[in-house]
């Protein structure tokens, strides 16, 4: 595995861009996304302070050699991702140099490249080719086992031996801010014998973090765990919405389906793995020792603070969860190595979700099914309302940031508002 720490992580670096230093989007961050100005087509950009740097404009000025300008004119990051890790890292180093304090090239040759973030629309950053969702928080898995299998061991025998996961639906991965229509499905009401087809009564959020990949090897070739950093471009915040009642009725024996596939919201900015290098920490102890293909001495946990707000239609917002990705039992490197261990392929723009990120204490639980004990202990919200599960008009806001003594790397937000079901 390559050492991800390099000169781009230097906390002493400063930028000439107004407001960048000390913000959540300093020169050490430079997350990638897709933006659109009114009346213009989508383009690739990076966030710096309160601005978006339009990469196509910088490229057309001849300042980004080695990558064709058309790559930056696309409505998604996929073509850039397909160029591979050497191209990503070279582009990041070049952008850091161009944005460093004292450098004037962009201001002289591409002054129109900086656009206020408040003046643009942010779009889904990738065209997701494949979506895998894991179940990697030992606290979440234990809580769910205790809720739904109270007389059995909360963790099934395979859970500590491999990162449990399933394939989701890539076509319903949507940009932050996309409305979430309450899904309908078959489920059993309490005491019922026959299922009812109706709008879900247990609509939930799931606080997750996802990673986005570049190209992988050909069919049949696994990705060794110590080469994971060559295939992971960066991370996004994920709200993998869940209809708990629909899921409960359908999930045996093949797992989640309609209760999960109606919407998965992701944040607009992809924070690169390089930017997060200073925040990589040792993962929690694993017992038993993982199989050889999942073992590594590298620090693959990420110190990423996360929080969730639920805001009612009246506008009252309540923080219902604060936790950290570093609590995850299975790391992103283990997830990728496991997902390809049978020779399965990985493509540029694939999304891998962490599964719900929950911590060990009250206040750190990443879903309402845990927070409210499946609706039996409703949570109180600012303004006096209570929630067992989400109501129509509720907005869920998830935030994330990795913060050290000198630099804060912000992920921004992923948001979604619940709309009433569309009746047949």
Q: Which residue has the tokens 């750190």?
A: 364
Q: Which residue has the tokens 């489920």?
A: 187
Instruction: Give the SS3 label for residue 26.
Output: coil
Measured CA angle at 266 (ends 214, 155), to 5 deg: 90
Query: What is the rounded distance in angstroms from the CA atom of residue 75 to the CA atom of residue 82?
Result: 14
CB-count burial class (<10 Å; 0-12, 13-18, 19+) for 194: exposed
CA 349 to chain centre: 13
| Residue of 76, 139, 140, 338 with catalytic role | 140
CB 357 within 8 A of CB 207: yes
Distances (CA, A) of 206 to 50, 53, 132, 421: 29, 31, 15, 20
- Run of H or E including 370: helix 368-371
Question: What tokens appear for 131 in the block?
Answer: 């979506």
Query: What is the rounded distance in angstroms from the CA atom of residue 204 to the CA atom of residue 195?
Result: 20
- Run of H or E including 256: none
Task: Count CB-CB contacts under 10 A for residue 336.
Answer: 27
Q: Which residue has the tokens 């309302």?
A: 385
CB 225 within 8 A of CB 232: no
Query: What is the rounded distance in angstroms from the CA atom of residue 5 to the CA atom of residue 274?
Result: 7
CB-count burial class (<10 Å; 0-12, 13-18, 19+) for 299: middle
Measured CA angle at 291 (ends 289, 292), to 5 deg: 110
Instruction: Give the SS3 label for residue 270.
Output: strand
Cis amide prior to 288 (ω within 30 degrees): yes
Q: SS in 3 state form for 36-61?
A: ECCCCCCEEEEEECCEEEEHHHHHHC
CA 7 to chain centre: 26
CB 100 within 8 A of CB 54: no
Mark whether 231 is an active-site residue. Answer: no
Catalytic residue annotation: 140
């Amino acid at each position: 595995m390559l050492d991800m720490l390099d000169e781009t992580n230097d906390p002493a670096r400063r930028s000439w861009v107004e407001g960048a230093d000390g913000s959540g989007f300093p020169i050490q961050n430079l997350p990638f996304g897709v933006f659109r100005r009114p009346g213009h087509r989508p383009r690739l950009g990076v966030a710096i302070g309160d601005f978006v740097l339009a990469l196509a404009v910088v490229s057309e000025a001849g300042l980004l050699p080695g990558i064709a300008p058309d790559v930056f004119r696309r409505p998604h990051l996929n073509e850039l991702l397909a160029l591979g890790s050497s191209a990503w890292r070279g582009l990041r180093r070049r952008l850091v140099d161009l944005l460093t304090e004292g450098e004037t090239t962009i201001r002289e040759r591409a002054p129109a490249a900086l656009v206020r973030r408040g003046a643009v629309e942010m779009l889904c950053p990738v065209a997701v080719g494949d979506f895998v969702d894991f179940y990697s928080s030992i606290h979440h898995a234990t809580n769910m086992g205790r809720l739904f299998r109270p007389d059995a061991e909360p963790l099934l025998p395979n859970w500590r031996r491999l990162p449990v996961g399933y394939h989701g639906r890539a076509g319903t991965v949507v940009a932050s801010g996309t409305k979430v229509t309450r899904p309908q499905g078959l489920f059993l009401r309490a005491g019922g014998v026959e299922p009812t087809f109706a709008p879900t009564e247990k609509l939930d959020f799931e606080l997750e973090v996802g990673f986005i990949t570049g190209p992988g090897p050909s069919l049949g070739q696994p990705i060794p765990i110590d080469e994971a950093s060559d295939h992971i471009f960066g991370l996004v915040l994920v709200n993998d919405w869940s209809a708990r009642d629909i899921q409960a009725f359908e999930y045996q024996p093949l797992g989640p389906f309609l209760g999960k596939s109606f919407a998965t919201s992701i944040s607009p900015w992809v924070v690169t793995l390089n930017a997060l290098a200073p925040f990589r920490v040792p993962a929690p102890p694993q017992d038993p020792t993982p199989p050889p293909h999942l073992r590594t001495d590298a620090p693959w946990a990420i110190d990423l603070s996360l929080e969730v707000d639920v805001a009612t239609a009246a506008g009252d917002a309540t923080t219902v969860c604060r936790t950290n990705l570093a609590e995850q039992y299975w790391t992103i490197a283990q997830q990728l190595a496991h997902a390809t261990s049978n020779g399965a392929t990985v493509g540029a723009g694939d999304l891998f979700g962490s599964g719900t990120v929950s911590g060990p204490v009250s206040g750190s639980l990443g879903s309402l099914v845990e927070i409210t004990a499946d609706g039996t202990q409703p949570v109180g919200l600012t303004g006096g309302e209570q929630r067992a599960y989400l109501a129509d008009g509720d907005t869920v806001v998830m935030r994330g940031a990795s913060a050290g003594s000198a630099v804060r790397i912000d992920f921004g937000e992923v948001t979604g508002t619940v709309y009433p079901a569309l009746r047949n």
